[in-house]
Amino acid sequence: MEKSDWQNLGFGYCDTDYNIRCYYRDGAWGELEISSSNIINLHMAATALHYGQEAFEGLKAFKGKDGKTRIFRMKENALRMQSSSDGILMAGFPVEKFMEAVRLVVKMNKRFIPPYESGASLYIRPLLIGTSPEIGVKPASEYLFIVFVMPVGPYFPEGFKPTDLVIMRDYDRTAPLGTGKYKVGGNYAASMNAGKLAKKQGFSAVLYLDSKEKKYIDECGPANFFGIKNNTYITPLSESILPSITNKSLMVLAEEMGLKVEKRKVLYDELPEFEEIGACGTAAVISPIKGIYDVDKDKWFRYGDEPGKWSVKLYNKLRAIQYGDEPDKYHWTDIVE
Ligand SMILES: *Cc1c(COP(=O)(O)O)cnc(C)c1O
């Protein structure tokens, strides 16, 4: 592929050569299997289909200037998938096996890893589903783990583009003591109506408040929230948000850059005080926010049309580590030769 083709990929499904599968039967995980089919054979009464026994992950591999491929923090994804499995009573996939499967799927599809110059990357999607039939509500006795990959374009092909978020109190993504902290499909199904409405009105995502009191900031649809003020990086502490690995990494880098870091409850009333706002996640690293519109109060919070200086610095720093342009002093990357 030409450089421009890699750049124009966007974020969409495409077939690659191989995926890796592993089956849980009789209380144990089997061997990793390599498949060249994009189809799975699934029982119509599988718990994944009826009762939402499904968890997924998202991570990326990056080709460096040195020709080496780096996978970013995959152990964190392995651990988070275990947490999700525990949360909805699925068999946990072993951490070492997860990392072995990820390394293998990247290696097997190496012709799909975009070149360094393109700014694109290889997106890795692990998936875990309950596969055995149940019609009474209970966890499956059999599970399937799959990991597949696809090349994805740079999130900002023309440089950072700040977008707007919207607050809509008529929708919740998760219950206060529900499954918000797990990366499960059910949370996404629950967010689709609000997400569609937001996009239709030109917003990039919904900014959810806490479902109980609507007093605190939770997170954006598919990304964590952070704000910066008075040289402090502030991100919400909540039982119902997904612990973003990007956010976790940005907190370390923010501290290294001399910012104070606070993980605490963030009041809605604090929104006007922030100098910068960002949504963070694997897809974009940081998506700078220029405005937040509160539908119910017909009120705008504005943060300037240009990305803030700390957001730019944090973004560049994290990307440099991912692509191997800067030393990986925290041992966040795994090199696949
Ligand atoms: C995956 C996800 C994120 C981002 O997590 P990263 O590990 O940074 O990619 C944030 N919020 C939700 C709801 C998610 O599912």
- Going by alpha carbons, the residue nearest to atom 5 of ligand 1 is 244
Count the alpha carbons within 13 Å of 335 in the hemisphere toward its beta carbon.
Answer: 11
**What was the pLDDT predicted at 5?**
85
Tokens of 156: 């900002």
Report how far ligand 1's centroid is from the alpha carbon of 9 (Å): 21
User: For the chain, how are helix, strand and coil distributed in percent, rounded to 5?
Assistant: 25, 30, 40
- Site to substitute for ligand 1 among 57, 224, 245, most atoms within 8 A of C-beta: 224
* pLDDT tens, residue by residue, 264-322: 999 999 999 999 999 999 999 999 999 999 999 999 999 999 999 999 999 999 999 99
- Site to substitute for ligand 1 among 56, 84, 124, 242, most atoms within 8 A of C-beta: 242
Atom of ligand 1 nearest to the CA of 247: 8
Q: Is the CB of 246 under 6 A from ligand 1?
A: yes
Work out the average pLDDT over 10-20. 95
* pLDDT tens, residue by residue, 69-113: 999 999 999 999 999 999 999 999 999 999 999 999 999 999 999
Beta bridge partners of 276: 228
Report how far ligand 1's centroid is from the alpha carbon of 181 (Å): 10
- The band of 237, judged by pLDDT with boundaries at 50, 70 and 90, is very high
- Between CA 158 and CA 146 the distance in angstroms is 33
- Between CA 211 and CA 301 the distance in angstroms is 21
Atom of ligand 1 nearest to the CA of 59: 9
**What was the pLDDT predicted at 154?**
87
Q: Is the CB of 126 under 6 A from ligand 1?
A: no
Q: What is the mean pLDDT of the chain?
A: 96
- Going by alpha carbons, the residue nearest to atom 3 of ligand 1 is 223
**What was the pLDDT predicted at 205?**
95
**What was the pLDDT predicted at 1?**
75
Report how far ligand 1's centroid is from the alpha carbon of 110 (Å): 25
**What was the pLDDT predicted at 200?**
97
Work out the average pLDDT over 202-206. 96
- Between CA 106 and CA 333 the distance in angstroms is 14
**What was the pLDDT predicted at 156?**
84
Model confidence at 221: pLDDT above 90: no
**What was the pLDDT predicted at 93?**
98
- The band of 158, judged by pLDDT with boundaries at 50, 70 and 90, is confident
Model confidence at 227: pLDDT above 90: yes
The most distant pair of C-alpha atoms in the chain lies apart, rounded to whole Å, by: 57
Atom of ligand 1 nearest to the CA of 76: 7
Residues 6+ apart with CB under 8 A from 226: 233, 234, 235, 247, 250, 277, 278, 280
30-44, 134-148, 150-164: which has the minimum mean pLDDT? 150-164
The angle at the Cα of 137, spanning 133 to 138, to the nearest 5 degrees, equals 70
Report how far ligand 1's centroid is from the alpha carbon of 222 (Å): 6
pTM for the predicted model, two decimal places: 0.97
- Between CA 223 and CA 283 the distance in angstroms is 9
The angle at the Cα of 238, spanning 237 to 240, to the nearest 5 degrees, equals 150
**What was the pLDDT predicted at 159?**
79
* pLDDT tens, residue by residue, 113-156: 999 999 999 999 999 999 999 999 999 999 999 999 999 998 88
Q: Which of 181, 183, 290, 317 is catalytic?
A: 183
Residues 6+ apart with CB under 8 A from 149: 16, 19, 61, 105, 106, 109, 112, 122, 123, 124, 125
Q: Which domains does the chain have, with CATH numbers?
A: 3-152 (3.30.470.10), 163-323 (3.20.10.10)
- The band of 218, judged by pLDDT with boundaries at 50, 70 and 90, is very high
Tokens of 177: 């003591």
The angle at the Cα of 163, spanning 159 to 169, to the nearest 5 degrees, equals 155
Model confidence at 337: pLDDT above 90: no
Q: Is the CB of 282 under 6 A from ligand 1?
A: yes
- The band of 255, judged by pLDDT with boundaries at 50, 70 and 90, is very high
Active site residue 260: no
Report how far ligand 1's centroid is from the alpha carbon of 91 (Å): 22
